[in-house]
Amino acid sequence: MWPGGSVFLCVLCVSVVFRVNGRAWCLGGSSDGRGAAILPAMPKGWFITFEGGEGTGKSTQLRLLDDWLRALGHRTVHSREPGGTPLAEAVRAVLLDPALEPDGLSEIFLLEAARHDHVERVVRPAMAAGAVVLCDRFTDSSLVYQGLVRGLGWEEVETLNRLATGGLVPDLTIVLDMDPEVALARAHTRNSEESAREDRLDEEPAEFHRRVREGFLELAGREPDRVRVIAADGPPEKVFARIHPVLPEALR
């Protein structure tokens, strides 16, 4: 009926609930009895994720969007994966420790355990309270890094993502895209400035980063309504100006 949409009957309010691009809407009698209305099915915030290879400027753009949304009066929650809760941050330290080197399957289970904790304790409660949750990486990173590049399989990782998140899908995913060689040079400058950074995955060969880039572009091809590719070259303000037009109308 709608691309990526579905329809079902709500037995609680006797109305038709339809879902378009991850957002639920309710078509039924209005509560004041004055006729039919289309309303959001439940009070709900927004969930926006940032994805892309290393050094593409995700955290800078996330911060710019956070400041901009707050200036407009939106309540925001800024988070990241792996991480975002004490348990998930502990898992992050394990994942990025060069001494541990978990194999592919151990890595995905650690990521999904951290993700489940993060979704249940941070993302869902914040959305239920009406906040805009901004997250640096989410399920799409697992699809690309573990599913595609590490070879665990797209469908397999999709299944694990669904289990870990209870089916939560971002309203919008911004993929920051640029030449990995340029991005990595940027990441290395940043890393040498921040001596405490822990990056096992930054050490991968150029071919790995090229496949990561292709993986995110493939993802955008599969879900063009949700996943928007933004050219990440140029000064941060210029990149942010490219993000602005793809933001949901309701947030602008």
Helix, strand, coil percentages in the chain from 3-state DSSP, rounded to 5 = 50, 20, 30
Q: Which positions from 190 through 219 interact with ligand TYD, judged by CB under 6 A?
A: 199, 201-202
How many residues at the interface with ligand TYD, by CB under 6 A? 15
3-state secondary structure of 47: strand
Residue 111 or 126 having the CB closest to ligand TYD: 111
Q: CA angle, 142 as apex, 76 and 210 as ends, to 5°?
A: 105
Q: Are 212 and 172 in contact (CB under 8 A)?
A: no
Residue 141 or 165 having the CB closest to ligand TYD: 141
* 81 part of the interface to ligand TYD, by CB under 6 A: yes
Query: For ligand TYD, which residue of 136, 169, 183, 240 counts as binding (CB under 6 A)?
Result: 136
Q: Residue 63 Cβ, how far from ligand TYD at the closest point, in Å?
A: 13
Query: For ligand TYD, which residue of 111, 164, 176, 220 counts as binding (CB under 6 A)?
Result: 111
Q: Are 38 and 26 in contact (CB under 8 A)?
A: yes
Span between the terminal Cα atoms of the chain, in Å = 28
For residues 48 and 226, give the distance between their C-alpha atoms in angstroms, rounded to a whole number.
10
Q: Residue 132 Cβ, how far from ligand TYD at the closest point, in Å?
A: 19
**Residues in the chain, total:** 252
- At residue 231, what are phi and psi to the nearest 5 degrees? -65, 125
For residues 236 and 241, give the distance between their C-alpha atoms in angstroms, rounded to a whole number.
9
DSSP string, 116-146: HHHIIIIIHHHHHTT-EEEEES-HHHIIIII
Residue 92 or 124 having the CB closest to ligand TYD: 92
Q: Which residue has the tokens 């000064």?
A: 235
For residues 115 and 80, give the distance between their C-alpha atoms in angstroms, rounded to a whole number.
10
C-alpha neighbours within 13 Å on the C-beta side of residue 93:
6
Q: Residue 219 Cβ, how far from ligand TYD at the closest point, in Å?
A: 13
Residue 82 or 180 having the CB closest to ligand TYD: 82
Residue 17 or 122 having the CB closest to ligand TYD: 122
Residue 54 or 171 having the CB closest to ligand TYD: 54
* 82 part of the interface to ligand TYD, by CB under 6 A: yes
3-state secondary structure of 241: helix
Here's the x/- map for ligand TYD, 36-65, by CB under 6 A: it reads as: ------------------x---x-------
* 173 part of the interface to ligand TYD, by CB under 6 A: no
Q: Residue 142 Cβ, how far from ligand TYD at the closest point, in Å?
A: 4
Residue 81 or 171 having the CB closest to ligand TYD: 81
* 240 part of the interface to ligand TYD, by CB under 6 A: no
Q: Which residues bind ligand TYD (CB under 6 A)?
A: 54, 58, 81-82, 111, 136-137, 141-142, 145-146, 187, 199, 201-202
